[in-house]
Structure formats: C-alpha cells, structure tokens
Structure 1
Amino acid sequence: MKIAILGAGNMGLSFSKSFLKYELIKPADLHLITRNESKFAKISEEFPHSKISTFDEVRELDADLIIIAVKPQDFQNVVDKIQFTLKENQMILSIMAGIKIQKIQKLLNHRMVVRAMPNSPTLLGMGITGYTSAEGISFSQLIIIERLLNSTGRSVYLEDEELLDGVTALSGSGPAYFYYIVDAMIKAGVEMGIDENLSKLFVKQTMLGAYHLMNNSEKSLEELIKDVASKGGTTEAALKTFEEKGLKEAIGKGILNAENRAKELNG
C-alpha cells in the first residue's frame, strides 16, 4: 500500500511513524508533502527512505490512500495549490477538524472520503480516533483504514457524521483540558510553598494513579470521589469550592463551545 500525507505537521508525522513502526507500509511507499522546503532537512532525518515534496512540486500522486492532515483553515488554500488529478480508486482520509465529508468531496471533486478525528496522544500510540465514511466505501476498505488508525491507539466507527464535531470537542481537544487542570494544580502546590518540580511530580503521579484506579475499578466515578472525600475533610472542602465556583458547568460549557467552533470550521 502506498500512502501520501498532505501536511507533514505533528499529526501527519505521528501517523507516519505509527504506520512504519507496525510495518503497515514500507518507508519507500510513504510520500510526505509539506508547504515549504524549510522542513525538508528535519523530516528527512526522521524519514530517510521516504519521498518528501512541496505541494507545488506534485504533478501526479502515486498513492492508494491520501491523508489530509492540514489545518482546516488552510484546506481551501491547499485545494487551490493541488496540481494533480485524483484517480477514481484513490481513497481520501481527512483528519481535519470540522470539515465535513460533503465539503471535501465537493472541493476535491472526489467521492471516496473517510473523515477521522484523532487526538495528540497518537504521538505515543495511545490516541483515540473517531471516524466515519462517505457512501460507497466498502467494508474491506474500512478495515484497512481501521487497521491504520489502530496503529496510533484505538478507533471507533461512527455511523452519524454529526457526532464527529462532538468527538473533536471531547477527545480531539480533550488533552488540553487535562493539561489545564494539571497546570492549575501544580501552581496551587507552588503557592503552598512546594518546589515546582516536586509539585509536578505529586500532581502527575496522582493523575496517573487516578487514571489506573478509575480504569481498573468497578466503582462509578461518584463512588470513587466519595472514597476520597470523607465528611468534613480536606477533599470535601476543595470539592465544595469547585461546586460554588461552577467548575463542572464551566468545563461542560467550554466543551460545547469547542463543538460549536468545530461546526463553524466547515464554513
């Protein structure tokens, strides 16, 4: 299988590394396409046996699958720069937030489109990706896509494309929410007089441990919270403040705003 990636940024390159790591493609069958030549040297170091080009250079694209990994705001500009004609049997996999299948089909004049929304832990092979497809994509073709996506973590097929904007807001943007909370906890530790590096250690390990406990426990989240928050204790004091400040509602509203922004990106 030959794969071309339009947009050799963080996500495009992390996908490439996963495909090569699990030997889903050969290095020589990977074609990385970027906007400017300034990235060539760095990309060549990481992918010495793969082809690297700029958008302007590509007149014909020899690939079974073309992954669109550019920013959604740049998609129209990329379409304007494309100088090759898509062949009928070539599949498109878009990992752009917000841009719907119908718009991709229209701008590229091509019907074979799968749309996916990964998140940044794909860099470690621990991501999760929601994906859906246009009509006409066969089951065997979807199995190929799923196999590729699973090399970056886990994947979930969605029948309803409308749900992908919610996936974008929930898991696509989700890592940043956790970083935001972790940052607030670390800063609180520093304010209490704990050395910053030590505060980071306490918070990161607490988050890691809490994740594993949540993942391996049969208890609900409410029960796990109650296990820590004894009546009249320190945890209850913190949770009461979170409730008074409307933290849960603010997080929920923020995620809904992220979903609205994903919808706006489709134009």
Structure 2
Amino acid sequence: MKIAVLGAGNMGLSFSKSFLKYDLIKPENLHLITRSDHKKEKIRSLFPTSQISAFSEVNNLDADLIIIAVKPQDFAFVAENLPFNISENSMILSIMAGISIEKIQHLLNHKEVVRAMPNSPTLLGMGITGYTAAEGILFNQLINIERLLNSTGRSVYLEDEELLDAVTALSGSGPAYFYYIIDAMIKAGTAMGIEENLAQLFVKQTMLGAYYLINNSDKSLEELIKDVASKGGTTEAALKTFDDNELKVILQKGILAAENRARELNS
C-alpha cells in the first residue's frame, strides 16, 4: 500500500509513525506533504527514507490512500488549489474535525471517502478514533482502514455519520478537558502551600490511579465516588461545592458547545 498524508502536522505525523512502527507500510511508500516549505527538513529528519514534499511540488500523486490532515478551516482552499489529480483508484481518509463526507466528496470530486475523528493520545498509540464511511465502501476496504487506525490505539465504527461531531466534542477535544481540570487541581495545591512540582506529582499519580480503578472495577462511577466520599468528610465538602456551582452542568455545556462548533466547521 502507498499512503500520502496531505497536511503533515502533528496528527498526520503521529499516524505515519504508527504505520511504520507496526510495519503496516514501507517507509519508501509513504509520501508526506506539507503546506509549509520550511518544515520539510524537520520532517525529513524524522522520516529519512520517505518522500517529503511541499504542497506546490506535487504534480502527480501515486497513492492507494490519501489521508487529509489539514486544518478544517483550510480544507476548502486546499481542495480548490490541489496541484494534482486524485486517481479514481485512491481512497480518501479524512481526519479533519467537522467536515462531512458529502462536502469532501463534492470539493474533491471523489466518492470513496472514509471520515475519522482521532484524538491527541494517538501520539503515544493510546488514542481512540471514531470513523464512518461513504456508501459503496467495501468491507475489505474498511478492514484495511481499521487496521491502520488501530495502530494508533483503538477505533470504533459508527453507522451514523452525525455522531462524529459528538465524538469530536467528547474524545477529540476530550484530552484538553482533563488537562484543564488537572491544571486547576495543581493550582489549588500550590494555593495550599504545596510546591508546584510536588503538586503535579500528587495530581498526575492520582489521575493515573483513578483511571486504573475505573478500568479494573465492576463498580459504577457513583459507587466509586461514594467509596471516597465518606459522610461529613473532606471529599463530601468538595463535591458539595462542585454541585452548588453546577460544575457538571458547566462541563456538559462546554462539550455541547464543542459539538456545535464541529457542525459549524462544515458550513
């Protein structure tokens, strides 16, 4: 298989590294295309035996799979100014937030499109990606796509494309929500007099331990909370403050705002 990545930014490069790590593609069959000419040398240092090109240098693209990894806000411009034709035998895999299969098909004049929404932990092979496909994509083609996506973590096929905007808001943007909460906890630690590096250690290890408890317990989240929050104790005092200030409602509103923004990107 020959793969071209149009938009060799963080996500495009992390996908490429995973493909090579698990020997899903030979390095010489990988073509990384960047819109920034000055980034070529840096990319070449990471992928010394792959083809590296600036956008303007590509006159002919020989690829079985073209991964579209440009910013969604830039996609219309990129599509209208492609310096090459897309072969009818090529498959398109979009990892752009918000841009629908129909819009990709229209702007690229190409029918075979799979749309996926990964998240940043794909950088470590710990991501999760929701994906869906245009009508007419064959089962064996989807299996090949899933094999590639699974190299970056886990993947989940969705029948309903509209759910991808919700996936974007939930898991695509999700890591930032956890970072936001962790940052608030660390700042609370320093406000209480704990040195910042020590506060970071306590919070990060607490987060890691809580993750493993969730993954290895048969208890519900409510039960796990009750295990920590004894009657009249310190945890109960914190949770009451969260509830009084509607923290859950605020978080849910934020996630719904992210979903709405994903839909706006397609307009």
TM-score, length basis structure 2: 0.99
- The one-letter amino acid paired with 1:181 is I
Alpha-carbon shift at residue 21 of structure 1 (Å): 0.1
Residues 117, 131 of structure 2: 8 Å contact kept:
yes
- The one-letter amino acid paired with 2:264 is E
Name the SS for the 2:230 alignment partner: coil
1:239 matched to which residue of 2? 239
1:84 matched to which residue of 2? 84
Residues 6, 34 of structure 1: 8 Å contact kept:
yes
1:164-203 equivalence runs, <5 A = 164-203=164-203
1:163 matched to which residue of 2? 163
CA distance in 2, matches of 1:208, 1:189: 17
The C-alpha deviation readout for 1:171-197, integer Å capped at 9, x for no partner, is: 000000000000000000000000000
Alpha-carbon shift at residue 36 of structure 1 (Å): 1.6
CA distance in 2, matches of 1:57, 1:138: 32
The C-alpha deviation readout for 1:138-187, integer Å capped at 9, x for no partner, is: 00000000000000000000000000000000000000000000000000
Question: Gapped runs of 5+ residues in structure 2?
Answer: none
- The one-letter amino acid paired with 1:213 is L
CA distance in 2, matches of 1:249, 1:228: 22
Report the identity percentage. Answer: 78
The C-alpha deviation readout for 1:99-149, integer Å capped at 9, x for no partner, is: 000000000000000000000000000000000000111000000000000
Residues 56, 81 of structure 1: 8 Å contact kept:
no
CA distance in 2, matches of 1:37, 1:74: 17
Name the SS for the 1:181 alignment partner: helix
Residues 68, 94 of structure 1: 8 Å contact kept:
yes
1:120-135 equivalence runs, <5 A = 120-135=120-135
Question: Gapped runs of 5+ residues in structure 1?
Answer: none
CA distance in 2, matches of 1:143, 1:120: 23
2:93 matched to which residue of 1? 93
Q: What's the Cα RMSD here?
A: 0.5
Name the SS for the 2:263 alignment partner: helix
Aligned residues: 267
TM-score, length basis structure 1: 0.99
Residues 2, 64 of structure 1: 8 Å contact kept:
yes
Residues 3, 67 of structure 1: 8 Å contact kept:
yes
1:201-220 equivalence runs, <5 A = 201-220=201-220
Residues 117, 167 of structure 2: 8 Å contact kept:
yes
